[in-house]
Structure 1
Amino acid sequence: MADWDDLRIFLAVARSESLSGAGRGLRLDAATVGRRIARLEDSLGHPLFLRSAQGYRLTEAGGRLIPHAEAAERAMASAAEDLAGAAAGLSGQIRLGAPDGCANYLLPQVTAAICDANPGLEVQIVALPRVFNLSKREADMAVAVSPPEAGRLTVQKLTDYRLSLAGDAGYLAARPAITSREDLQGHRLVGYIPDMIFDKELDYLAELGVGTVPLGSNSVPVQLMWLRAGAGIGIVHDFAMPFAPGLRRVLAGQVALTRSFWLIRHADDRRSDRMTRFAEALTLGLRREVARLEALAAGQ
């Protein structure tokens, strides 16, 4: 029979699809991981992975083992929580995935405050301009700009946030005035690379009827730096504007977008008091931080 340590290694390989990737997360060398997988397969009497140059893919037997291994993972996490006790505060590691605008301009200060209140807690922020795959445990939970439509997940709305069209004051002063959307044709626009927009909610410029983006990046901070450098005009999160005090809104009465952040969790994590308490602190912190930064931006 497999013990928890065997199952822990099995899950790491299944999620990373490689021995080296699993080893990095487990802090084991790839050869050791490979030996442990081979031993587990021998003890169960079934091959769990198909090996190829592309990596490790689950066999049918491996796929059947996944829910049992994840149940053991949840049981061990729950036991650790019970032993630690709620009064001791949050502890251990939580990995949080988020789009890079949220990850850069909101989560650092919000999670720092949560960690100040819970000294035993370790938070990892994974900032990626794409949708996170929670089934592969890329993160324990994720912030998204659209609620998922499939999967065994729980979803809760975190907060609304606003976006505006903006440009650097120096850029705007040196170029023709913008008084209508038609005037945008005479200006260089900054935005997402069209074929790398991973969520329809991010296709801001389509709402302006703009088809060409001379300066495009899949990174929100890169777009913001272009605007700060006076390279053009583009859509900016209002909560990011205090980090770029030289920006000024354009067509403020005509262009104002609202989007939402959603917190995505594994359905089974609803039974985890630790994850629930962290989610509650994150929700409260994000709402307060968005409100604080948007109030600062209103004065720019």
Structure 2
Amino acid sequence: MEETIGWELYRSFLGVLHEGSLSAAARSLGLTQPTVGRHVAALERALGQALFTRSQAGLMPTEAALAMQPAAEAMQNQAAALERTARGFGAELRGAVRVSASEVVAVERLPPVLAALREAHPQLQIELVPSNRLQDLVQREADIAVRMAPPQQEVLVATRVDDVLVGLHAHERYLARHGVPQRIADLQTHALIGFDVETPYLRAARQALPLWQRANFALRCDSDLGQLALIRAGAGIGACQTALAGPGLVRVLAAEVEIRLPAWIVMHGDLRNSRRCRVVYDALVQALRAA
């Protein structure tokens, strides 16, 4: 009978994989460097595989290590979810809830909601994950997510909130210097702000606005927050959620360009009876509907 490999070995393996060295992994995990080294060596012996090679840049993962990474990260997510679940039991509303949202939503819209939640429930812990990558709720990378697409998995529960309206915006300083475009064709003479890497959102936007493509962007950034900062700085014209435009930003070509993104609050069905998750879920639904 093969010996069971303990989770702590995989945990140290992931630490080295993510950090690139034993010392950095030890700091991130709260362990000593010799302990992390022993864990990695024990895992290599158990698997009969070399997982790292030494280089001037640090410890480089082998092909075997890279092949193991997705499954090991899934184990890490499940272990974190198990800990959040265990800590959430008790008479008081306490414990951690991991919330995922796009960069812009996480930074521009959620902080006031989460601040109010913490005021009402001081024992509640919120882990906010700003990411444009869809976190896997089935694998429990997050407990709750704000998404711009309906969930596909049957094990998830979701509530649709108000659509997010996206339009073209520019700072009034930019428009004072370069003029206000009156027709779609006028955009060809303006500095456009967009993505560097092709995305599903960019493809959808191009259906409504054919010239909205990488070759036409004077400034390219794959971060929504980076694009918003460029628009606010007066660098050019870019896409922005109308609710987040704020002082100084002017919407242009409103009649011609309007993209509506359906917004959903999504949670794993197993968490419906978790009081802390339900409180956070309901607060997000209420706040984003009111917005």
| TM-score, structure 2 normalization | 0.72
Matched with 2:61 is 54
SS in 2 for 1:209: coil
2:231 pairs with one of 206, 210, 227: 227
Match of 1:169 in 2: 172
1:119-138 aligned within 5 A: 119-134=122-137, 138=141
User: Which residue in the other structure is 2:257 paired with?
Assistant: 255
1:279 to partner: Cα distance = 1.7
CA contact (8 A) 1:164 1:238 kept: yes
SS in 2 for 1:255: coil
Tell me the equivalent position of 2:210.
Answer: 209
Q: Which moved more, 1:96-105 or 1:174-183?
A: 174-183
Q: Unaligned regions of 5+ residues in structure 1, if any?
A: 292-300
Equivalent position to 1:182, from 178, 182, 185: 185
> What pairs with 1:152-167 in structure 2 (closer than 5 Å)?
154-159=156-161, 160-167=163-170
Q: How far apart are the structure 2 equivalents of 1:263 and 1:110?
A: 14
1:204 aligned counterpart, secondary structure: helix
Residue 279 of structure 1 corresponds to: 281
The within-5 A match list for 1:6-155 is: 7=7, 9=8, 12=11, 18=17, 26-29=29-32, 31-32=34-35, 35=38, 47=47, 51-52=51-52, 53-54=60-61, 57=65, 70=78, 78-82=85-89, 84-85=90-91, 88-91=92-95, 93-134=96-137, 138-149=141-152, 154-155=156-157
The alignment partner of 1:143 has SS state of strand
The residue identity in structure 2 corresponding to 1:207 is A
CA-based RMSD: 4.0
> Would the alpha carbon gap of residues 99 and 79 (structure 1) be closer, same or farther in structure 2, given more than 3 Å must change?
closer
**1:122 is aligned with what amino acid?**
Q
Deviations along 1:20-41, one digit per CA (max 9) or x if unpaired, are 6976665334643565688899
Distance of 2:189 and 2:18 partners within structure 1:
53
Cα deviation code 1:27-68 (max 9, x no counterpart): 3346435656888999xxx759973442775999xx7xx88x
Shift of 1:174: 3.0
Cα distance between partner residues in 1 of 2:267 and 2:229:
32
Structure 1 position 172, deviation (Å): 1.8
CA 1:78–1:177 in 2, change beyond 3 Å: closer, same or farther? closer
Contact 1:163-1:237 at 8 Å conserved across structures: yes
Q: Which amino acid aligns with 1:183?
A: D
Q: TM-score, with normalisation over the residues of structure 1?
A: 0.70
Structure 1 counterpart SS, 2:217: coil
Letter in 2 for 1:167: A
Q: Tell me the matched-pair count.
A: 270
CA contact (8 A) 2:15 2:29 kept: no
State the Cα deviation string for residues 215-274 of structure 1 (Å, max 9, x = none): 1111222212222222211111112112xx111111222222211233344454345333
| Residue correspondence of structure 1 range 190-209 to structure 2 within 5 A | 190-193=193-196, 195-197=197-199, 199-200=200-201, 203-209=204-210
Change (3 A) 1:281 1:22: farther
Which amino acid in structure 2 is aligned with residue 228 of structure 1? R
Whole-Å Cα distance in 2 between the matches of residues 124 and 279 of structure 1? 13
For structure 2, the residue ranges without an aligned partner over 5 or more in a row are 53-59
